[in-house]
Amino acid sequence: MKDLTDHPRISVARIAKTQGNRGEVAADLLTDFPERFTRLRQVLLEKPGEGSLELVLESCWFHKNRVILRFQGINSIDQAKKLAGYEVTVSEAERVSLPAGTYYQHDLRGCSLVGKSGEDYGEVIEVVQYGPNYLLRIKGAAKEFLVPFVDNYLLEINLQERVLRCDLPEGLEEL
């Protein structure tokens, strides 16, 4: 089996709980492309503070807005319980191409938010979904604040330079 740990990884699901008593697990989707699970074979499970687990995905199905996963070698509820909290990850090479003008949330995290006159507002630390809209949580020098992820405020998104250029309304960072 090839080493899956030496390249950047993308989380596509977080295992929430066991499903049934034959070793299957229910996972919350962290991808807009759930069909990817039908093509996955080798995955890496990762959890902060724990070792990574390389597993082979035998089968999957969807139930109540979750994906149910069955891994090779996980055959009991006791084995499956140990997987709770792990994230199912895939390599950067396996990520789905997006249309122009759309971005992966993890690509936006860590970018600097810079005003059109060069003012440094801080760093994107999280992308928050609020209904059908998205907000960028910015860690500024003094405090955190939210910026709507909309064309009206974001003039340029340069992922190569890790910079989002913006034109924020006066006082937005004070809200």
Integer CA distances (angstroms), 99 to 46, 71, 159, 163, in order: 28, 32, 15, 20
Alpha carbons 154 and 117: distance in angstroms, whole number: 13
In a domain, 175, yes or no: no
In a domain, 174, yes or no: no
Domain end, chosen from 94, 126, 156, is at 94
Q: What is the pLDDT of residues 1-46, one digit of tens each?
A: 344 444 578 889 999 999 989 999 999 998 888 999 999 999 999 9
Domain end, chosen from 94, 124, 149, is at 94
State both tokens at 107.
């690509």
Based on the domain organization, do 111 and 75 belong to the same domain?
A: no
Based on the domain organization, do 41 and 113 belong to the same domain?
A: no
Alpha carbons 36 and 157: distance in angstroms, whole number: 27
Domain count, the chain: 2
Alpha carbons 149 and 132: distance in angstroms, whole number: 11
Based on the domain organization, do 31 and 77 belong to the same domain?
A: yes
The whole domain housing 77 covers 9-94
Q: What is the pLDDT of residues 145-154, one digit of tens each?
A: 999 999 999 9
pTM score: 0.67
Q: What is the pLDDT of residues 67-79, one digit of tens each?
A: 999 999 999 999 9
What is residue 175's predicted lDDT score, i.e. its pLDDT? 65
Average pLDDT over the chain reads 90
Domain with residue 148: its CATH number is: 2.30.30.240
CA 98-34-86 angle, 5° bins? 105
